[in-house]
Chain A
Amino acid sequence: MQSAENFIDAVRARSRTLDPALPAFADERRTSVIELQRIGVPAGKLETWKYTPIRDFYAPPFVASVDAPTIAPRREPERLLTFSGAEPILIRGAQSDYSAISRRHGVDITNLSADAATPRNARLNTGVDLNRYQLAHLNTALLADCLIIRVAAGIDAGALDLRFVSGSNDANISRVRVEIGAGSTLRLVEQHAEDRPTNSVLEIDIAPRATFEHTRVLPPTIPPCWYLVSVNVASEATYSLAGYATGSKVRRTDIHVRLDGHHAKTDINLACVTHGRDRLDHQIVVEHIGVDTVSRQIVHGIAAGDSELTFNGRIHIHPGAQRSDARLTNKNLLLDRKARINTKPELEIYANDVKCSHGATVGQIDPAQMFYLRARGIDEHTARTLLMRAFLSSRLTTWAQEAGVETIYNELFH
Chain B
Amino acid sequence: MSNPAALLLEVADLHVSVAGKPILKGLNLRLAVGEVAAIMGPNGSGKSTLANVIAGRPDCVVTRGSLRYLGTSLTDLAPELRARLGVFLAFQYPVEIPGVSNMEFLKAALDSQRSARNEAPLSAVEFMKAARAVASALDLNAEFLKRGVNEGFSGGEKKRNEILQLLLLGPKLAILDETDSGLDIDALQTVAAGINRFRGPDNGILLVTHYQRLLDHIKPDSVHVLADGRIVKSGDSGLALWLEENGYGWITNAA
Q: Measuring CB to CB, which residues of chain A are less than 8 angstroms from any residue of chain B?
A: 366-369, 371-380, 382-383, 386-387, 389-394
Contacts and interface: CB of A to CB of B under 8 A. Distances in A.
A377 B116 contact: yes
A176 B91 CA distance: 54
Contacts of A379: 78, 80, 112
A367 B58 contact: yes
Interface in B53-103: 55-59, 78-80, 82-84, 88-89, 91, 94-95, 97-100
B58 A382 contact: no
Contact of A375 (B89, B97, B116): B89
Contacts of B83: 374-377
A387 B100 contact: yes
A378 B108 contact: yes
A386 B94 contact: no
Contact of A371 (B79, B109, B116): B79
A114 B197 CA distance: 75
A393 B79 CA distance: 26
Given A377-B112, A380-B78, A371 B58 contact: yes
Q: Most chain-A CB neighbours within 10 Å: which of B94, B109, B116?
A: B109
Interface of A, helix, strand, loop or mixed by DSSP: helix
Contacts of A372: 91, 94-95, 97, 149
A367 B99 contact: no
Contacts of B109: 373, 376-378
B113 interface: yes
20 contacts: A368-B95, A372-B91, A373-B105, A373-B108, A374-B78, A375-B88, A375-B89, A376-B80, A376-B112, A378-B112, A379-B78, A380-B80, A382-B112, A386-B105, A387-B100, A389-B100, A390-B97, A390-B98, A390-B99, A394-B99
Contacts of B116: 377
B49 interface: no
Contacts of B169: 376-377
B165 interface: yes
A372 B59 CA distance: 13
Nearest to B52: A371
Given A377-B84, A394-B98, 20 more contacts: A372-B91, A373-B108, A375-B79, A375-B82, A375-B88, A375-B89, A376-B108, A376-B112, A376-B113, A376-B165, A377-B83, A378-B80, A378-B108, A379-B80, A380-B78, A383-B80, A387-B100, A389-B100, A390-B100, A392-B99
A389 B99 contact: yes
A180 B113 CA distance: 54
A366 B96 CA distance: 11
A367 to B, nearest CB: 7
A380 B148 CA distance: 20
B105 A371 contact: no
A372 B98 CA distance: 13
B213 to A, nearest CB: 26
Please name the 10 residue pairs, one residue from A and one from B, whose CB atoms are nearest each other, closest first. Answer: A390-B99, A376-B109, A377-B83, A374-B79, A377-B112, A377-B113, A390-B100, A374-B80, A394-B99, A372-B95
A386 B112 contact: no
Nearest to B116: A377
Given A376-B83, A378-B80, A387-B100, A369 B112 contact: no
Contacts, number: 81
A37 B94 CA distance: 62
A393 B99 contact: yes
A365 to B, nearest CB: 11
A299 to B, nearest CB: 15
A391 B88 CA distance: 26
Contacts of B55: 375
A284 to B, nearest CB: 23
Given A380-B78, A390-B99, A375 B56 contact: yes
Nearest to A366: B95
Given A367-B58, A372-B95, A382 B108 contact: yes
Contacts of A382: 108, 112
Contacts of A387: 97, 100
A392 B108 CA distance: 19
Nearest to A389: B99
A328 B3 CA distance: 63
A374 B169 CA distance: 14
Contacts of A375: 55-57, 79-80, 82-83, 88-89, 91
Contacts of B89: 375
A251 to B, nearest CB: 25
Contacts of B79: 371, 374-375
B95 A386 contact: no
Interface in B143-195: 148-149, 165, 169
A386 B97 CA distance: 10
A382 B83 CA distance: 15
Q: Most chain-A CB neighbours within 10 Å: which of B56, B58, B112?
A: B112
A106 B109 CA distance: 52
A373 B94 CA distance: 11
Contacts of A369: 95, 97
B235 to A, nearest CB: 30
Nearest to B84: A377
Q: Most chain-B CB neighbours within 10 Å: which of A372, A375, A394?
A: A375
Contacts of A391: 99
A393 to B, nearest CB: 5
Q: Most chain-B CB neighbours within 10 Å: which of A372, A387, A394?
A: A372
Contacts of B149: 372
B57 A371 contact: yes
Nearest to B104: A386
Nearest to A395: B99
B157 to A, nearest CB: 16
Contacts of B98: 390, 394
Contacts of A394: 98-99
Contacts of B88: 375
A373 B99 CA distance: 14
Contacts of B80: 374-380, 383
B149 to A, nearest CB: 8
